[in-house]
Amino acid sequence: MAEGVVSEAAAALVELRDATKSYGAVRALRDGNLALRPGEVRALVGENGAGKSTLVKVLGGVVRRDSGDMLVDGQSVDFHSPHDARDAGIAVIYQEPTLFPDLSIAENVVMGYHPLGSFKRIDRGAMNGQVQGLLDRLGVKLDPERPVRGLSIADQQIVEIAKALSFDARVLIMDEPTAALSGAEVERLFAVVRTLREHGAAVLFISHRLEEVFTICDTVTVMRDGAVVQDARIADMTPDEMVRRMVGRELSTLFPKQDTAIGAPVLKVHRLTCEGVFVDISFSVHAGEIVALAGLVGAGRSEVARAIFGIDKPDAGHVEIDGRRLPAGKPLTAMRAGIGFVPEDRRQQGLVMDLSIARNATMTRMRALSRLGIIGSGAENRLAREWATRLRLKFHRLENPVRFLSGGNQQKVVLAKWLATEPKVLILDEPTRGIDVGTKAEVHRLMSELASHGLAVLMISSELPEVLGMADRVLVMHEGRLTAELSRADADEESVIRAATGHVGEVAA
């Protein structure tokens, strides 16, 4: 599968051969082939969900591979915990925060490996001195004795980096270490990485910022759909080529959006800002239109949706429905004004898993269905049955708990719940995540049909084919800002990825 393998004389410090990992029915990693040699800085690139993080977790001992081999110094090994990986000299900076807010920076860095004095007591002086040294090396003025609680995201990232550098790691794996760092801080991190390289360590660097990849890396591994698809020298690659390899697939014809007459603007978002999360977001969605909000995970898309619906209160800006301004931070008012919101995590936020299909589907209409505060089950079932038929829901009995439904059918129940309120605007956050292909097409058909009846749809999606197939217009966010607005004609995989990775304007769309 891999092409143009770099041949190096040196033996790999760590190597994965044909590693696979599945979560239930989802194959998160297949053909996991990767070798890190002394003095090598290797980039690992790919779209969201391409399997990068799974590969990192396998290397870090967080998850165990289902099959394939892992070798350290040519010896076959099996990591049972992150502890084993660390003992093998592998340091990992994970994407998710792993710090202890109640403890000092110094303790966070050396946890479990505190320098010891007499009677195996922790030598606090040595510990603080050691961590101060690391922080100086990274060029940040932070007091090692202050608690981590209250640190900015960038400073927390620095502590994570210090943690990974705190022992003589031969292999350093960094999953998006620069996401929150400033230019100067990134420069200093790179200086440290170069020093490590000179000392014969291997570095695996994951970043969505391609310019960083080209600045610091020697080799690159490209992943797509859970598999490693290319292994090459950076010198032999161009950014364009890399993006093409990351995207690579044919645009399927699975997602047709019917052409619909676009009406008047329904939802208007005006200069919405939430400090540190997203800045100055303005756009509008018209009746009959599907607008996709694309971008990488963490770009702030879900947060924008939450602010529009009033779950979070923005610091500045406002939202209008049909020209009427909504009060900030009031979901109930937003609902009454005609916004429906299908959240990203339907199990946690969209449904009450143990309640019946009927009760879930009619939850937003409880007040209308009740007489003197008592909900009539007849009225409830009638309404639920109506929606079940319209959405082609597959179920045994309306009284069964929703947790017995498949993911796709659960999503239909969430949709029914919101459609029952007869919204003017429907916000869908990752509407087809974790749904099988057949039902996916069903959900897309529904979205298209709803739009044709004049509903304004705002869809957040990390799946490019879905974005390109469904959207009349594509808005792209990068690190909390809108970086592009692309019409259906202008939007293609490259232009969206470029904007999502902050490469606007380098290539004419």
Residue 94's beta-bridge partner residues?
none
Residue 434 CB, nearest distance to another protein (Å)?
21
Q: Which two tokens stand for residue 279?
A: 């800045």
**Which of 64, 100, 433, 494 is close enough to bind another protein by CB under 8 A?**
100
**Residue whose CB is less far from another protein, 149 or 394:** 149
**Residue whose CB is less far from another protein, 152 or 252:** 152
Q: Is the dihedral of CA 196, 197, 202, 207 positive or negative?
A: positive
Q: Are 130 and 137 in contact (CB under 8 A)?
A: no
**Which of 4, 149, 258, 347 is close enough to bind another protein by CB under 8 A?**
149
What is the C-alpha to C-alpha distance for residues 447 and 255, in angstroms, rounded to an integer?
10
Please state at what angle helix 377-390 crosses helix 407-419, rounded to 10 degrees: 120
**Which of 2, 71, 111, 355 is close enough to bind another protein by CB under 8 A?**
111
**Residue whose CB is less far from another protein, 154 or 509:** 154
What is the C-alpha to C-alpha distance for residues 380 and 411, in angstroms, rounded to an integer?
19
Residue 52 CB, nearest distance to another protein (Å)?
17
Residue 288 CB, nearest distance to another protein (Å)?
44
Residue 82 CB, nearest distance to another protein (Å)?
5
**Residue whose CB is less far from another protein, 62 or 71:** 62
Asked if 202 interacts with another protein (CB under 8 A), we say no
**Residue whose CB is less far from another protein, 112 or 378:** 112
What is the C-alpha to C-alpha distance for residues 304 and 282, in angstroms, rounded to an integer?
10
Asked if 94 interacts with another protein (CB under 8 A), we say yes
String of contacts with another protein for each residue 152-181, x by CB under 8 A = x-xx-------x------------------
Q: Is the dihedral of CA 141, 144, 150, 154 positive or negative?
A: positive
Asked if 23 interacts with another protein (CB under 8 A), we say no
Q: Which two tokens stand for residue 133?
A: 């040294």
Burial degree of 141 (CB within 10 A; 0-12, 13-18, 19+): exposed
**Residue whose CB is less far from another protein, 138 or 420:** 138
Residue 94 CB, nearest distance to another protein (Å)?
6
What is the C-alpha to C-alpha distance for residues 458 and 461, in angstroms, rounded to an integer?
10
**Which of 112, 183, 323, 378 is close enough to bind another protein by CB under 8 A?**
112
Residue 333 CB, nearest distance to another protein (Å)?
28
Asked if 114 interacts with another protein (CB under 8 A), we say yes
Residue 51 CB, nearest distance to another protein (Å)?
19
Asked if 185 interacts with another protein (CB under 8 A), we say no
Q: Please enumerate, as own/partner, the contacts of 126-130 that have beta carbons within 8 Å and a separation of 24 or more.
A: 130/106, 130/166
Asked if 89 interacts with another protein (CB under 8 A), we say no
What is the C-alpha to C-alpha distance for residues 326 and 269, in angstroms, rounded to an integer?
10
Residue 76's beta-bridge partner residues?
71
**Which of 120, 371, 396, 397 is close enough to bind another protein by CB under 8 A?**
120
Characterize 338-352 residue by residue with b for buried, 16 or more Cβ atoms within 10 angstroms of its Cβ, and e for exposed: bbbbbbbebeeebbe
Residue 502 CB, nearest distance to another protein (Å)?
21
What is the C-alpha to C-alpha distance for residues 188 and 135, in angstroms, rounded to an integer?
11
**Which of 12, 41, 151, 232 is close enough to bind another protein by CB under 8 A?**
151
Asked if 98 interacts with another protein (CB under 8 A), we say yes
Residue 154 CB, nearest distance to another protein (Å)?
7
Asked if 184 interacts with another protein (CB under 8 A), we say no
String of contacts with another protein for each residue 125-144, x by CB under 8 A = x------x---x----xxxx
Asked if 81 interacts with another protein (CB under 8 A), we say yes
Residue with tokens 């060029």: 139
What Rg do the C-alpha atoms of the chain give, in angstroms?
25
Residue 311 CB, nearest distance to another protein (Å)?
22
Question: End-to-end distance of the chain based on CA atoms, in angstroms?
Answer: 31
Q: Are 440 and 465 in contact (CB under 8 A)?
A: no
**Residue whose CB is less far from another protein, 125 or 256:** 125
> For another protein, how many residues bind (rule: CB under 8 A)?
45
Residue 167 CB, nearest distance to another protein (Å)?
10
Asked if 97 interacts with another protein (CB under 8 A), we say yes
Q: What is the DSSP letter of 444?
A: H
Query: Which candidate, 90, 84, 24, places its Cα nearest to that of 56?
Result: 90
Q: Are 361 and 384 in contact (CB under 8 A)?
A: yes
User: Rounded to whole angstroms, what are the CA distances from 63 to 57, 97, 202?
Assistant: 6, 17, 21
Binding segment (CB under 8 A) for another protein, from list 10-18, 101-109, 368-376, 469-477: 101-109
Q: Are 53 and 170 in contact (CB under 8 A)?
A: no
HSE-up of residue 19 (Cα within 13 Å, Cβ side): 29
Residue 102 CB, nearest distance to another protein (Å)?
4
Residue 385 CB, nearest distance to another protein (Å)?
39
Q: Applying CB under 8 A, which residues contact another protein?
A: 60, 62, 81-83, 85-86, 92, 94, 96-104, 107, 111-114, 116, 120-122, 124-125, 132, 136, 141-147, 149-152, 154-155, 163
